[in-house]
């Protein structure tokens, strides 16, 4: 996930670039409000962390500039104090979330991840493969427009497969997604779940194919 950080406090920015970097975020840093728009034009970011007190162009102005340009990027605002007035004015200005300084980096990460997930969910609420579709906000599968009832584990396997249609997933990958919090689950557990899913998809123009040595793949067709 690629993040743009607009912050003029060098110590804080350096620490954030490093701390977020250790947790899988790639962070680019600018220290002047005028640089934000330019950076967003040059690179595709997943979110912006915006300090309100910025030289060049103040954070409030950066925000209204972005929203006027219909820039949908999720924006998390950093405020110097936890002030209700500031929160309200930022919300009206189009901020998606806030964090008052000083903050804990784990809270920043959690909020960023939630913002990005929400933004992506709006872009891609549905996955489909032939007559099978999955609505990720409702967490509901439909087969030929009828709700498909699945156990939680069948649901988890099928969700992993439909998010990568036409692409094989190995038993190991499926195990990690379905039984992530359990130890010592045998690969046969996945075989059993695949067998049950095949039964549920019987007579529909979508199927789970076995690719020897590679894993399972969802594909449309008889």
Chain contacts with Ca ion (rule: CB under 5 A):
8, 51, 53
Judged by CB, which is closer to Ca ion: 14, or 122? 14
Of the pair 55, 166, the CB lying nearest Ca ion is at 55
Closest contact distance (angstroms) between CB of 23 and Ca ion is: 23
Residue 5's nearest CA partner among 42, 45, 41 is 45
Residue nearest to Ca ion (CB): 53
Measured CA angle at 97 (ends 93, 100), to 5 deg = 105
Closest to Ca ion by CB, 50 or 161: 50
CA dist., res. 158 & res. 141, Å (int)? 9
Q: Are 97 and 139 in contact (CB under 8 A)?
A: no
Q: Which is nearer to Ca ion, 3 or 206 (CB)?
A: 3
Say if residues 105 and 17 touch (Cβ distance below 8 Å): no
Residue 95 phi, psi (nearest 5) = -75, 150
């Amino acid at each position: 996930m690629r993040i743009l950080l607009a912050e003029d406090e060098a110590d804080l920015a350096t620490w954030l670039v490093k701390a977020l970097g250790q947790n899988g975020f790639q962070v680019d840093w600018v220290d002047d409000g005028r640089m934000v728009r330019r950076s967003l034009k040059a690179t595709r970011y997943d979110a912006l962390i915006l300090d309100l007190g910025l030289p060049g162009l103040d954070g409030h102005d950066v925000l209204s500039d972005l929203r006027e340009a219909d820039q949908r990027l999720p924006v998390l605002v950093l405020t110097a104090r936890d002030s209700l007035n500031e929160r309200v004015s930022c919300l009206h200005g189009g901020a998606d979330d806030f964090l008052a300084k000083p903050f804990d980096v784990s809270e920043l990460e959690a909020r960023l991840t939630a913002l990005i997930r929400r933004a992506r969910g709006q872009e891609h609420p549905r996955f489909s493969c032939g007559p099978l579709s999955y609505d990720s906000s409702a967490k509901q599968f439909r087969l030929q427009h009828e709700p498909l009832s699945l156990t939680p584990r069948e649901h988890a396997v099928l969700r992993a497969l439909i998010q990568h249609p036409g692409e094989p997933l190995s038993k190991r990958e499926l195990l990690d997604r379905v039984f992530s919090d359990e130890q010592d689950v045998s690969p046969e557990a996945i075989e059993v779940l695949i067998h049950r899913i095949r039964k549920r998809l019987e007579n529909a123009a979508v199927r789970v194919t076995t690719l020897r040595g590679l894993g399972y793949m969802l594909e449309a067709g008889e």
